[in-house]
Amino acid sequence: MIVSNFRIRFLPDQRETVADQRQTLLEAARQANVYVGAICGGEGVCGKCRVIVREGEVEGESTEFLTRDEIRRGYVLACQVYPRSDLLVEVPPESRLVGYEGIGRDSERFRDFAHRGAERPPTELTPVIEKFFLVLPEPTLDDPTADQERLLEAVSKKCPGPLQMGLKITRELPRVLRRLQENRSSWNWKWDGRVTATVGLRSEVNEVLCVEQGDTSDRSFGLALDVGTTTVVGHLVDLTCGTTREAAAKYNSQIECGADIINRINCARRPGWAETLHQAIIRDVETLIDDLVERAQVGRGDIHCVVAAGNTSMLHFLLGLETDLIRLSPFVPVATSPPPLRAAEVGLRIHPRGILYTLPMVGSFVGGDITAGILASGMYKSDELSLLLDIGTNGEVVLGNKDFIVACSASAGPAFEGGSVSCGMRATFGAIDSVRIFRHGLAVSATTIDGGPALGLCGTGLIDALAEMFLAGLVDRSGRFQVNRACDRFRVSEEDDRPEFVLVPAKESGSVRDVVISQADVENLIRTKGAIYAAADSLVQSVGLSFDDIRKVYIAGAFGNRLDISSCITIGLLPDVPLERVEFIGNSCIAGAKLVMLSRSMFDQVHSVRDRISYQELMVDPAYMEKFTSACFLPHTDVSRFPTVRERLDKRKSKS
Amino acid sequence: MIVSNFRIRFLPDQRETVADQRQTLLEAARQANVYVGAICGGEGVCGKCRVIVREGEVEGESTEFLTRDEIRRGYVLACQVYPRSDLLVEVPPESRLVGYEGIGRDSERFRDFAHRGAERPPTELTPVIEKFFLVLPEPTLDDPTADQERLLEAVSKKCPGPLQMGLKITRELPRVLRRLQENRSSWNWKWDGRVTATVGLRSEVNEVLCVEQGDTSDRSFGLALDVGTTTVVGHLVDLTCGTTREAAAKYNSQIECGADIINRINCARRPGWAETLHQAIIRDVETLIDDLVERAQVGRGDIHCVVAAGNTSMLHFLLGLETDLIRLSPFVPVATSPPPLRAAEVGLRIHPRGILYTLPMVGSFVGGDITAGILASGMYKSDELSLLLDIGTNGEVVLGNKDFIVACSASAGPAFEGGSVSCGMRATFGAIDSVRIFRHGLAVSATTIDGGPALGLCGTGLIDALAEMFLAGLVDRSGRFQVNRACDRFRVSEEDDRPEFVLVPAKESGSVRDVVISQADVENLIRTKGAIYAAADSLVQSVGLSFDDIRKVYIAGAFGNRLDISSCITIGLLPDVPLERVEFIGNSCIAGAKLVMLSRSMFDQVHSVRDRISYQELMVDPAYMEKFTSACFLPHTDVSRFPTVRERLDKRKSKS
């Protein structure tokens, strides 16, 4: 076979690479370090890797994910086509990696958020990394205490308990504590003694990570990390005041090896691929750090710790631990309480002696994400019975109070994170996060996170859209589109002859394409919400209680800011409890990671909380499957479970 | 300048190098990795780097250290001559690095020795590094505990207290606990669970250093290290039974930068030289390890710890810490309690996660050598008042019991280690370690450590020789040679017209040269013993006591086995106490290091012992100078202090 090489240039980044005719455009883009969204890992099944070929020839299958008009305009799926000449390729906005999550901007909001459930207000911060400005007295003949002991003594006064200190820091100490004075050909030592010591919490002791001249105690940062199956989120936290300075998110690039965890674990069995998957997640975190430090104008060396939360498999990938045993009975993780370790050891380039903390896991199916959520909600110390729904690629459900905690996990799928939905996207620029439908679908009002043109729908937008379509009678209780309704927004998909609903036509919002919801999307969303509701239902029943006993429902997830609780109840994602009992706590992984980062008491408590969690394996339970089937309706087979929804439906019906 | 290169071959090693006309033979030898003894660091003042030019031409100064006959036979001082052609150079035995110290062979003796002062007999070993063979139960659905937690739980049962474990070990755990079974194109995990965990003591916690498949608990070694100013000694200790397997010693090759510590600290001020001095001592230890592992047939990876004792400067050089402040008022060390650290961090190639422990120091002038000596003697826990004399390049003197400990330091010089004495040498092959003189010097009986030809005198030989010459009337009380005595062993040195005493003529022992003691040697020895006696005298007086109050005198030092206590008293090195009160405890640095290595209770105690030591700065005390002057006689100006010596002198006098 003769291999031909072609020059491929990508817009708008103006990056270039050389690829041969056996490489897909997606591979070429990766090679050029150009991000093109691809949920399915290049299998051609997610339709997310849309690019526009501006110049040159490609070869490849046509696809159901593109309309005839799009194909005419040069759209291709990057994972399905191969170059046949030099190319100029544009990556349109909906396929690009853009900015931060909507949730990340308001630092006021974050300060409140980070301290939800914390023992003390932010004024009593006790972060795992602390900086102390010290003025050490000059040694004398009466007090010739060694440099290291002099320093440690001063640190001990501020930070009790055993201390350790590495050789490298000790070696530098004489020069940090003194200034070298040159006179003639020689030099002399001049005592200074004003230094800042950075102290970090290790397993049982505190470690002096760094000693610097002068007072630098106003500069210290930590990275709270949510290592999600679909999305990786990082928040840069100012450890001196507890506020969040910046937030960033990106899709987990392990997605190339499959959208779900089991596919990735299988992928890691291939020789060399475990390391590839580990490196992929490290690169993602490094990308987030690049973004965060640039926006916050902070040096990487000012970041002294990373606190990571995530499910057991993702934390294993992060640490480079074997994942294969997680998927095999009896489902044994390598480690559930990884001790604090040097972040550099996994390749994270923060301060060279900065520490990586991992939230403790319970087992293969209850990870540090659940521990984080329980911590963030504060349910573990409440008298009242609380339910926590963490809606990510896996839906985790926790029920409990200060006396007991039970948890289970449901394979919900990434629909609410923008995966497996035709116009789904992360809660970022251009994402529709709220939808209202009036006059039986003749009028639609949609807002985007940034107020700009709509590119797609994030989780809150999808929930709203489904709830509004249902209330407007555009879908029936089983989720079927009511195309016979007098609504010109319905049209039939060219590809599969199935109907789709045009939420925002491109021409209306000034966007590049119509934002639609298809019949298949609605089915996906209903399965996802059904899985979560059924898990909650099973868990509540398993302990002999009912939804009425629950005093608080916490919803966590990577939604936009404007999650409409009422919409969540309308579609049957949440049980029909009084609205005031429901609270959206945002990304509870990040929130839990921040609590541990900012409070040593939380750091201590997280392990005892972890030890109290008992896992319920509902997925092999036939009763769960029955509950799931019943929950795959709007809002549920048994409408009597949702009296407020019935009331609203009745109200609308009587109006029409 | 035109540079000419010459090939230089060294015998008996057959090693070769290329050197130019500006390099001394000593430099060429170092380049060829051939050891040539040189105490003064190539200054031409010690006369130890004798080599024989067998073929070729050299240019350089003639020297007072060589006789006319030796020069005729081709002897040169390697540091003083430069090649003018290709050369064949022989390094004679007296200049070579040979084998082990005499003290190192008898492991039975070492076992007793290592445990002197230990809380328990060797059967109750609690070494700082322990290996545990574990059989971990196979995980089940009812007990899916993670690999790391399963291991740590089992280790905790054998080794209580907090445990830590590095990421690398955790990563390997699944494969160590299981065997991979290949079948067809796939592979499966098969539980094994039989592993050996190596656990080492860190500052406040225990660390799992290594986990291996199967039972390797019978193989674990530690290196006890005496980092002396003149000599570096290493003992390889079997941690499973506490016995010493091998011992090795070599001159500290920092000697190239000066024989005493102040010169070396000054040398380290030059740019880059601090690192050079650090590397020199690391290379020396590496050389010892090479020697030890080869002789004991042990892998470097089986050595899990190094426990180092030495004075404060030497331990600073070992760890690569700044030494300059030690010599400057107020004499501040960088660290006096360096925490256990990874040996690899200073470049020692033992087990990759092996730990380097350093005995704690008190200050710039009371180092880990004194702490070691106090520990080894057991004086710190005795009711009885004890005196400890540690005779190295510096003489350290300690007085105390379980209630108080005072210590001081005297610049004794390296005479008893073979330095600054014409035929002085380390206690190794060919070293005379006992001397008897009969018939007023007409007959001499001398034994060497190994029974072979005499090459020189080690410390015990020198003390014996001086005592015997004194008792035989060959030197008077001020140390002057009595050349008018009818003894044909006296001759006049060709170089300086001063007399020397031929102890063993070369032709008598089959050796390569006469073993002599010169007038200058005797003066050196008297100054050395005077410094130590005066220090002891001052210390005893400073606490208002006298030598009569002392119930136990411990002598420590790198002597041969056969230290004659009576000879020590005869020359006035020791006070004239009853012989049964004096005990030679050998190398107390090594002994102290072994105690700490083999007993966790000792490891704990060493710091509290350290905290109890108070240092007396006698060297600036005018009373000390007076005592020193008085002590520079045989045995002392005031003979009434030495009644048994006077008695023996009287007896001999009456005989003659």
- In sequence order, the 6+-apart residues with CB closer than 8 A to the CB of A278 are A317, A318, A319, A320, A346
| pLDDT at site A15 | 85
Please report the pLDDT score of residue B1 as a whole number.
Answer: 64
Q: Give the 3-state secondary structure of residue B174.
A: helix
* B155 within some domain: yes
The domain spanning residue B65 has which CATH number? Answer: 3.10.20.30
CB contacts, 8 Å: B149 with chain A: 335-337
Q: How far apart are CA A633 and CA A624, in angstroms?
A: 15
How do residues A120-129 score in pLDDT, each as one tens digit?
334 468 999 9
Cβ–Cβ under 8 Å, residues A230 and A259: yes
Q: Are A298 and A236 in contact (CB under 8 A)?
A: yes
* Highest mean pLDDT: which range of A32-41, A337-346, B67-76: A337-346
> Considering its fold, how many domains does chain A have in total?
4
Residues of A in contact with B166 (CB under 8 A): 341
* Strand ranges across the sheet with B499-504: B490-492, B499-504, B515-518
- In this predicted structure, what is the pLDDT of residue A102? 31
Of B213, B244, B279, the position where a domain reaches its end is B213
| pTM of the full structure | 0.82
Same domain, yes or no, for B191 and B142?
A: yes
Whether A393 and A540 map to the same domain: the answer is yes
> What average pLDDT does this structure show over B283-296?
93
Q: In this structure, how many other beta carbons lie within 10 angstroms of the beta carbon of residue B274?
A: 22
In a domain, B561, yes or no: no
* CA–CA min distance A508, chain B (Å): 54
Same domain, A590 and A578: yes
| Cβ–Cβ gap A204/B204 under 8 Å | yes
Q: Are residues B333 and A146, on separate chains, in Cβ contact within 8 Å?
A: yes
Cα(first)–Cα(last) distance of chain A, in Å?
Answer: 68
Minimum-distance CB partner of A332 among B147, B170, B205 = B147
Mean local confidence (pLDDT), B164-168:
94
Residue A38: pLDDT band with limits 50, 70, 90 = low
The answer to whether B309 touches B369, Cβ cutoff 8 Å, is yes
Which percentage of chain B shows pLDDT scores above 70? 92
Burial class (CB in 10 A: 0-12, 13-18, 19+), A443: exposed
SS3 A286: helix
Q: Judge whether A281 and A330 are in contact, CB under 8 Å.
A: no
Run of H or E residues at A589: helix A588-598
Answer whether residue B179 is part of any domain. Answer: yes
Contact A83, A8 (CB under 8 A): yes
- pLDDT at position A128: 96
Distance between B407 CA and the closest CA of chain A, angstroms: 17
Please indicate whether, in this complex, the C-beta atoms of A144 and B341 are within 8 angstroms of each other: no
Peptide bond between residue B330 and the one before it cis (omega within 30 degrees of 0): yes
Chain A partners within 8 Å of B266 (Cβ): none
What is the pairing mode between strands B194-201 and B206-213? antiparallel
Structure confidence at residue A123 (pLDDT)? 47
Contacts of A363 in chain B (CB under 8 A): 144, 146
The answer, yes or no, to whether residue B561 has pLDDT greater than 70, is no
Does B43 fall in a domain? yes
Question: Could A147 and B333 be called an inter-chain contact, meaning their C-beta atoms sit closer than 8 Å?
Answer: yes
Give the pLDDT mean for A423-434: 84
Nearest-CA neighbor of B538 among B623, B637, B620, B413? B623
Last residue of a domain, one of A165, A183, A213: A213
Considering only CB atoms, A330 lies closest to which of B141, B162, B164, namely B141
Q: What CATH number should be reported for the domain holding residue A625?
A: 3.30.420
Chain B positions touching A168 (Cβ under 8 A) are 345
pLDDT band at A515 (very low <50, low <70, confident <90, very high): very high
Decide which of A123 and B312 is more confident.
Answer: B312
Q: Which residue of chain A is at minimal alpha-carbon distance from B150?
A: A335
Burial of A327 (0-12, 13-18, 19+ CB in 10 A): middle
* Cα B534 to Cα A238, A274, B218, B635, distances in angstroms: 62, 70, 49, 12
Most B-contacting residue of A141, A180, A322 (CB-CB within 10 A), to test interface: A322
Q: CA nearest B187 in A: which residue?
A: A269
The pLDDT mean for chain A works out to 87
**Do both B91 and B133 map to the same domain?**
no
Give the CA dihedral A598, A601, A603, A604, nearest 10 degrees: 170
- The angle at the Cα of A34, spanning A31 to A40, to the nearest 5 degrees, equals 85
User: How do residues B606-633 score in pLDDT, each as one tens digit?
Assistant: 999 999 999 888 767 889 999 999 999 9
Query: Per-residue pLDDT tens for B370-382?
Result: 999 999 999 999 9
B82 lies in the same domain as B38: yes
Nearest-CA distance A531 → chain B (Å): 25
pLDDT band at B103 (very low <50, low <70, confident <90, very high): very low
Q: What is the mean pLDDT of chain B?
A: 87
Residues A510 and A557 in one domain: no
Q: Answer yes or no: do B86 and B133 share one domain.
A: no
CA A70 to chain centroid: 31
B394: closest CA of chain A, how far (Å) = 21
Return all residues near A270 (Cβ < 8 A) that are at least 6 apart.
none
Distance of alpha carbon B372 from alpha carbon B396, whole angstroms: 12
Give A165's contacts in chain B (Cβ within 8 Å): 339
pLDDT at A644 (0 to 100): 95
Instruction: Give the chain A residue whose CA is nearest to the CA of B161.
Output: A204
Higher pLDDT pick, A483 / B94: A483
- Give the CATH number, domain containing residue B159: 3.10.20.880
Residue A276 has pLDDT above 70, yes or no: yes
pLDDT score at B100 = 32
List the end-to-end C-alpha distance of chain B, in Å, as a whole number: 68
User: Residue A164 and residue B346: Cβ atoms within 8 Å?
Assistant: no
Q: Which residue of A has its CA nearest to B178?
A: A325
Q: pLDDT, tens digit, for every residue of A8-24?
A: 999 887 888 999 988 88
- Note the pLDDT tens digit of each residue in A600-641: 989 999 999 999 999 888 767 889 999 999 999 999 999 999
| pLDDT recorded at residue A185 | 67
- Do residue A157 and residue A60 come from a single domain? no
In this prediction, residue B265 carries a pLDDT of: 93
Q: Does any domain span residue A343?
A: no
Mean pLDDT of B122-126: 67
Q: What's CA B351's distance to the chain center, in Å? A: 23
Size of interface A-B (CB pairs under 8 A): 145
Cβ A167–B319 below 8 Å, yes or no?
A: yes
Average pLDDT over residues B2-12: 88
Average pLDDT score over residue span B164-189: 89
Flag whether pLDDT at A108 surpasses 70. no
Provide the angle, in degrees to the nearest 10, between the axes of the packed helices A312-319 and A273-296: 90
What pLDDT score does A71 carry?
86
Residue of B nearest to A203 (CA): B164
Residue B613, C-beta contacts closer than 8 angstroms, at least 6 positions apart:
B362, B366, B370, B371, B374, B398, B405, B406, B407
**Three-class DSSP category at A50:** strand
pLDDT tens column, B443-484? 899 988 878 888 899 899 999 999 999 999 999 999 999 987
Side-chain half-sphere CA neighbours of B299 within 13 A:
8
B247 in any annotated domain: no
In a domain, A80, yes or no: yes
The distance of B542 to chain A (nearest Cα, Å) reads 19
Q: Do B334 and A147 touch (CB under 8 A)?
A: yes
Query: Does residue A399 lie in a domain region?
Result: yes
- Indicate whether B120 pLDDT > 70: no
The band of A104, judged by pLDDT with boundaries at 50, 70 and 90, is very low
Average pLDDT of the segment spanning A476-480: 94
Instruction: Write out pLDDT tens, residues B195-252.
Output: 999 999 997 889 999 999 999 999 999 999 999 998 899 999 999 999 989 888 888 8
CA distance B543 to chain A (A): 20
Contacts A164 to B, Cβ<8 Å? 202-204, 339
Contact between A531 and A392 (Cβ < 8 Å): no
- Indicate whether A406 and A545 sit together in one domain: yes
Option in B205, B322, B361 nearest A174 (CB) = B322
Domain that holds residue B205: 128-213
What is the SS3 assignment for A492?
strand
Sort out which chain B residues have CB atoms less than 8 A from A324's CB and list them.
174, 189
Nearest to A332 among B139, B170, B328 (CB): B139
Tell whether A549 and A581 lie within a shared domain: yes
Chain A interface disruption, residue of B140, B151, B170, most A CBs within 10 A: B170
Q: pLDDT tens, A359-404?
A: 999 999 889 999 999 999 999 999 999 999 998 888 889 999 999 9
Among A69-78, A373-382, B116-125, B277-286, where is mean pLDDT lowest? Answer: B116-125
Per-residue model confidence (pLDDT) at position A395: 86
Å between B453 CA and nearest CA of chain A: 47
Task: Please report, for chain B, how many H helices and E strands are present, in that order.
Answer: 17, 31
- Chain A residues whose CB is inside 8 A of the B322 CB are 171, 174-175
Chain B hits for A361, Cβ within 8 Å? 146
B341 and A164 within 8 Å at the Cβ level: the answer is no
**What are the tens digits of pLDDT across the range A571-593?**
999 999 999 999 888 889 999 99
Chosen domain end from B53, B73, B95: B95
pLDDT over 70 (residue A70)? yes
Give residue A503's pLDDT.
92
Model pLDDT for residues A294-351, shown as the tens digit of each residue: 989 999 999 999 999 999 999 999 999 999 999 998 999 999 999 999 999 999 999 9
Q: Do B144 and A330 touch (CB under 8 A)?
A: yes
The interface predicted TM-score (ipTM) is 0.82
Decide the pairing of beta strands B552-557 and B386-391.
Answer: parallel
- With 0-12 / 13-18 / 19 or more C-beta atoms within 10 angstroms meaning exposed / middle / buried, residue A362 is buried
Q: Is the domain of A549 the same as that of A618? A: yes
Contacts of B205 in chain A (CB under 8 A): 203-205
Position A39 scores a pLDDT of: 58
Choose between B80 and A102: higher pLDDT. B80
- Nearest residue of chain A to residue B140 (CA atoms): A330
Q: Are residues A645 and A553 in the same domain?
A: yes
Residue in B140, B162, B338 closest to A204 by CB: B162
| CB pair distance less than 8 Å for A164 and B332 | no
Confidence class for position B110, pLDDT limits 50, 70, 90:
very low
**Mutation site, B332, B610, B616, interface A, largest A CB count within 10 A:** B332
Taking the CA of residue B133 and the nearest CA in chain A, the distance in Å comes to 20
